[in-house]
Amino acid sequence: MKIFLENINTNSSSGPNSFANKLLPQLSSMGHSFVPEHVSDISLCFIESPNYVISVPRVLRLDGIYFNTAQDWNSLNQNIRRTYDSSDGIIFQSMFCEKLIESYFGEHKRSTVIYNGADVDTILDTAPMVNEKYDNIWCCASSWRPHKRLEENIRYFREHKGNNDLLIVAGEVPAQDRVQDPSIVYFGNLSQVQLYSLYKSAKYFLHLAWLDHCPNVVVDARACGCHVICSSAGGTLEIAGPESTIIEEEEWDFKPTLLYEPPYMNFDKKVKNMFDPCYDMKEIAKEYSHFLEKTELE
C-alpha cells in the first residue's frame, strides 16, 4: 500500500512524532511505502490535516482534543473536528481517548482503538544505565506541564522510597521548580536510547499525570520492565500493565475543565488494573496495516 503522510514530522521528538518514528519503519518492513498524495492509495494523518480537500481516503490517528477552559478550547478543536468529520477511518489511542472524542465530536462511522507500541528490538539491544550505589532507582519522564504532576510524582517517591533509593527525573525542569533533595536528580532532556537505558535500570516508573491519553513513555517504561505507578483518571492505566499500581481518582465527566489545575491525590486509594494490551510495535503496526487496508478497500 502506498501511504501519504499528513502532519507527521519524523525530525520532531514530540509524542506523536516519536510514535511515528517507531511505527513507520515497521510499516515499511511490511511492504508499505510513503509517497506523495497524487500517487498514494490512502492517507495516514496525525491529529489534524492542513488539507481541506484530499484525493484519497484518510485514516486519522487522534491522541486527544482540547478541553482546557484556560484556553479557547472550542476554537482550537475546530480543524481537528473538520478533519475528524472528513476522514474515512479513525484510530483512537485508548478507550479513554475514544470516549472523550466521541463525547465532543460524536460517534464516527468507522473507528478502532490501537494502543501505542514500543520498539522492543531496540530496547533489547540497549544496555541499562550502570547502578552500583542505590538499592532501587525510580524514574519519571515527560514534557513537564502542570497536569503531568511532577510534584505528585516527587511526593509519592518521598513517601514510599527506601533509605537508599534514587529518583531520576528526565525532561527539562526549570531550576526554580526543582525540589532540593539528595535522593532526587534531574537529567534534563534525553535521547530515546538514553531513556531506554534509564528505564532498564529502574524498578519503578512514576506517571501520575491527570487525564493523560496514552503516553509513549509509559509504554516504553513497561516494555523495559518497570513497575508503573499511575492515575486511574485518563487512559494511562490501559497501557500500564496488570501488575501496575493504580491510584484511584474521581471519574471525570468529560466536560471542559481547568486541565492545569489537577486535583490533589490520595495515595492510599488504589484499584486493580484489568488491562493487559500488547506493547510490541511489530504487532501494533499489523493492526495499523489491517485498518488502513480495510479503510482503503471500503
How does pLDDT run across 279-298, given as a tens digit for each residue? 999 999 999 999 999 999 87
Q: Quickly list H helices, 135-237.
A: 150-160, 192-201, 216-223
Number of residues written out for the chain: 298
d(CA 67, CA 70): 9
Mean pLDDT over the full length of the chain: 95
The contacts of residue 121 (CB under 8 Å, 6+ apart) are none
**Residue 255: band (very low, low, confident or very high) from pLDDT cuts 50, 70, 90:** very high
As a whole number, mean pLDDT of residues 127-139 equals 94
Strands (DSSP E) found in 88-221: 89-92, 111-113, 136-141, 165-170, 184-188, 204-207
**Residue 18: band (very low, low, confident or very high) from pLDDT cuts 50, 70, 90:** confident
Please say if the pLDDT value at position 11 is more than 90. Answer: no
Quote the pLDDT of residue 51: 79
As a whole number, mean pLDDT of residues 143-171 equals 97
Cβ pair 173, 153 in contact under 8 A:
no
Quote the pLDDT of residue 53: 81
Please say if the pLDDT value at position 191 is more than 80. Answer: yes
DSSP label at residue 128? P
As a whole number, mean pLDDT of residues 33-43 equals 96
pLDDT digits 0-9 by tens, 65-108: 999 999 999 999 999 999 999 999 999 999 999 999 999 999 99
Quote the pLDDT of residue 144: 96
Instruction: Sheet with 245-247: list strands edge to edge.
Output: 184-188, 165-170, 136-141, 204-207, 227-231, 245-247, 270-271
As a whole number, mean pLDDT of residues 179-193 equals 96
CA distance readout (Å), 40 to 2, 10, 111, 279, 282? 5, 19, 21, 29, 23
